Structure 1
Amino acid sequence: MLVMGIDTSTTQGGVALLSGQGVICEYTLNIKATYSERLLPLIDRALQDAGITLGQVEGFAVAVGPGSFTGLRIGLSTAKGLAVVGGQPLVGVSTLEAMAWTLPFCTHQVCPILDARKGEIYSALFRHEGDRLIRLMDDAAIAPDILLRRIQQPTVFLGDGLVVYEGLVQSQLKELAFFPPLAGRGGRPAAVAELGRRRLLRGDRDDLVQLAPQYLRPSEAEFKRLDKFTPVGSS
């Protein structure tokens, strides 16, 4: 089954085409240009370079977060549009789960962290058992200190949250903290494609109307709107 994976959760995202024979192509960028500028050109290039038409894609997988609110909306709306045009099934994939999937057969638990700003991170905990990924903690928006206090065993950390919090993780966990090389710290669209392909092969498909980004907390605009309508003197 030929699947297109789309990941726009963080600045490091892109597009991949994957089949039962492996990754056909994968394009990943980590630049400041918005996904409204770069996503469709990446999709077009992937299809052209692979010599594949959109109609040959048998299913779509899209990262649904947590992550960048704007990026997630662009990725999900694009994936939905492509699925509607061709009538192919679409499934959503947890961004953090897809990141943990990139470290197969890791003997330690895996902790992806994304910078959620406002002093928080998006995070979860996973463990690999053979070719299965076992979730140990639900996706959460959490203060780094609270997460680190929960970790009592060797853990591999990855994700863009390390840009801000690697020093904190190292100082608090010391020999319990492990970090992949720079090339292995970000997400991969091919991981989204593979996890999505597994679901599609089981016959899963998400409802295009109901499938939504997993924000985990209100957006900045929603925070401002809530503040605006909070009664004076309320606690």
Structure 2
Amino acid sequence: MKVLAVDSSSECASVAIIDDNRLLGEITYNYKKQHSVIMMEMIDTILKNTSMTVKDIDGFVVSKGPGSFTGLRIGMASVKGLAQGTKKPMISISSLDALAYNLAYTEGILCPIFDALRNNVYTALYHFDGVKLIRLTDYLNLSVDELVVLLKEKNDKVTFIGDDVYKFKEKLLSVTNCNFAPRNLNATRASSLGELGQISLQAGISDDLITVAPLYIRNSQAENEYEARNGKSVYED
């Protein structure tokens, strides 16, 4: 099964193609957010350089977040268009799941982190059970201080991962028995996203193109401003 995966949830823009046995190609840029400009060009390039067309792809995987609101919408719209045009299935996978999967088979708790601004982070806690990634918590938006308290309560070895980890390293170091992933693993990678998505697609699990949506966890700035002006959520009648 050939899968094309797209991640645009963070500063990274990443595209990969995998089959049942190999990573056939991957392009990752981790410099500034230009997803709307480069994403389709990256997809075209990786298809060309692997001697494929979009018709050769059996399924699509996209990051559903949390992460950059604009980036998530760009990735989701791009993959929805490809899936609809080819009539092939698509599945959305959390960017936190994919980042944790970069540390496959690492012992202890895995703690991927994205900066959620104002000293808050997007995170979830994971561990590997044999060959399977197990999520131990909900997807969370909490302060770094709250995360430190949560991890201290777990009383287990912790490995932090993500480009944004170093913004909070001083506080995270207060967690006993913690490690930090190397720089080459900290970027969100479409290949990790694709491998997790392929597992679902092979099991016949896919998303509905009409109802699938990004996982934001918190309101956007525009939604917060609407609530401040109107005294109610944008989703209320």
Alignment-mate amino acid for residue 28 of structure 2: T
Corresponding letter in the other structure for 1:201? Q
**Does residue 163 of the first structure (1) align with residue 166 of the second (2)?**
yes
- How far 1:119 moved relative to its partner? 2.0
The amino acid across from 2:49 in the alignment is: D
The letter of the residue matching 1:156 is T
Q: Distance in 1 between matches of 2:207 and 2:231?
A: 36
Deviations 1:35-91 (A, max 9, x none): 001101100100000001100000000010000000000000000000011011000
Find the residue that maps to 2:201 and give its secondary structure: helix
Equivalent residue letter for 1:206: D
Aligned-residue offset at 1:168: 1.4
Q: Does 1:106 align with 2:106?
A: yes
* TM-score, structure 2 normalization: 0.94
Distance in 2, Cα, partners of 1:160 & 1:213: 21
SS at match of 1:150: helix
Q: Distance in 1 between matches of 2:98 and 2:126?
A: 11
Report if the CA contact (8 A) 2:163-2:183 is conserved. no
Q: Which runs of 5+ in 2 are unaligned?
A: 233-237
Q: Does the Cα contact within 8 Å between 2:13 and 2:39 map onto a contact in 1? A: no
1:31 correspondence with 2:36: no
Deviations 1:160-213 (A, max 9, x none): 32131112101x21x421001111112110011111100000001100011000
After the TM superposition, which residues 192-207 of structure 1 pair with which residues of structure 2 at under 5 Å, given as runs? 192-207=193-208
Q: Identity of paired residues, percent? A: 33
**C-alpha separation between the residues in 2 aligned to 1:115 and 1:33?**
15
**1:106 CA displacement:** 0.7
The answer to whether the Cα contact below 8 Å between 2:148 and 2:171 also exists between their aligned partners in 1 is no
**Equivalent AA in structure 2 for residue 60 of structure 1:** F
* Cα distance in 1 for residues equivalent to 2:99 and 2:182: 14
The residue matched to 1:178 in structure 2 has which SS? strand
Letter in 1 for 2:181: P
**C-alpha distance in structure 2 between counterparts of 1:42 and 1:163, whole Å:** 28
Equivalent-residue separation in structure 1 for 2:19 and 2:130 (angstroms): 21
AA partner of residue 198 (structure 1): I
**What CA deviation, in whole Å up to 9, does each residue of 1:84-128 have, x standing for no partner?**
110110001011011111111111110001001122100000000
The alpha-carbon deviation at position 33 of structure 1 amounts to 4.1
User: Structure 2 matches for 1:1-235, cutoff 5 A?
Assistant: 1-151=1-151, 152-170=155-173, 172-173=174-175, 175-230=176-231
> 1:133 Cα deviation (Å)?
0.6
CA RMSD of aligned residues (A): 1.1
Aligned length: 229
8 Å contact from structure 2 (residues 110, 126) kept in 1: yes
Q: Give the Cα–Cα distance (whole angstroms) in 2 for the partners of residues 196 and 221 of structure 1.
A: 31
Q: Aligned letter for 1:192?
A: L
Residues 14-34 of structure 1: CA deviation (Å, up to 9, x unaligned):
100000121000000011142
What residue ranges of structure 1 are gaps of 5+ in the alignment?
A: none
